[in-house]
Structure 1
Amino acid sequence: MPALEFFKDKERGVLDPKVFERAREVAEGLAKGKLSSSQFRNYFTELRALESRFERDRKGDEALAFARLVPQLELLKAKLFYNTRPKGPLKEAKEFVEFMEEALEAGKRSPKDFEAMMKYVEAVLAYFYASGK
């Protein structure tokens, strides 16, 4: 599968509408699995906290703020994998872990990609909730 791309025109920050079609498809797949809405919400809340810290820090030095953000995204990925252990809360939510890993990897490319990743994950969450989860 090709790397997740968010932009129609990255230079000008124009998102590709197909990202949101993909978000809907991902959400429908997640809704068929064992993932609960609170599990998804917990990770999204953590991402929002990272986003808030990044937004605050980038006012001083965007490059430094992003350099600090990337290891935090890696740590979140490690937490995801930890929670897939045999008695972990995500042991039966492999699709969610794969979705989050792909999104986090894409979000680490640049500040613009991180912002787009947040919109993508938010769209997946919205479609996930709309599916009745």
Structure 2
Amino acid sequence: METLEFFKDRERGLLDPAIFERAKQVAEKLVGEGKTKSSQFRNYFAELRALENRFAKERKDNKDLAFARLVPELELLKAKLAYNTRTNGPLRDARAFVNFLNEALDAGKRSPEDFEAMMKYVEAVLAYFYASEKRTGGQNEA
């Protein structure tokens, strides 16, 4: 499996616009699978946004330390994701969502810049998810 890459030019911090096309494809796959509820996606995104806000505050003092504190939190989120795939868990059938988020979290752990790019990517998937869901009648509402 290829590694998720966010940058067209990492040295200059230029995101690859293709990542947003990929976000659209992922969102359409999630909606097509029909196993991810919008509330579930929102909950995980809210946790990521809270981590992002804490990281932004802490990085003003020491970017390396802030990122070192962030990585275990991303690992914990992966653990929560795994827990929710248990036999009677809310994500037991949402394989596409679990795979998407695990891949994004792994990529976001590479560096502070990757984490920031990952947040943009996940936000784009969420936006396209809502747009696709709306077109298909919102069958994933909850």
Note the 1:60-99 alignment, pairs <5 A.
60-99=61-100
Q: Which aligned runs of 4 or more in structure 1 are off by greater than 4 angstroms?
A: none
Partners of 2:32 and 2:25 in 1: CA distance: 11
Letter matched to residue 9 of structure 2: D
Letter matched to residue 95 of structure 1: A
- CA-to-aligned-CA distance 1:23-68 (integer Å, 9 cap, x gap): 0000000001210100000000000000000000000000000000
Larger mean Cα displacement after TM superposition, 28-37 or 65-74: 28-37
Note the 1:53-132 alignment, pairs <5 A.
53-132=54-133
1:8 counterpart SS class: strand
Letter matched to residue 41 of structure 2: F
Note the 1:22-37 alignment, pairs <5 A.
22-33=22-33, 34-37=35-38
Give the aligned partner of residue 44 of structure 1: 45
Q: What are structure 1's unaligned runs of at least 5 residues?
A: none
Partners of 1:129 and 1:93 in 2: CA distance: 16
How many pairs does the alignment contain?
A: 133
Partners of 1:84 and 1:94 in 2: CA distance: 8
Report the aligned-residue RMSD: 0.6
Partners of 2:31 and 2:72 in 1: CA distance: 29
Provide the TM-score with structure 2 as the length reference. Answer: 0.92
Identity, % of aligned positions: 71
Q: CA deviation at 1:12?
A: 1.2
- CA-to-aligned-CA distance 1:84-132 (integer Å, 9 cap, x gap): 0011000110110000000000000000000000000000000000012
Q: What are structure 2's unaligned runs of at least 5 residues?
A: none
Partners of 2:12 and 2:47 in 1: CA distance: 28
Partners of 1:10 and 1:72 in 2: CA distance: 24
Q: CA deviation at 1:11?
A: 1.3
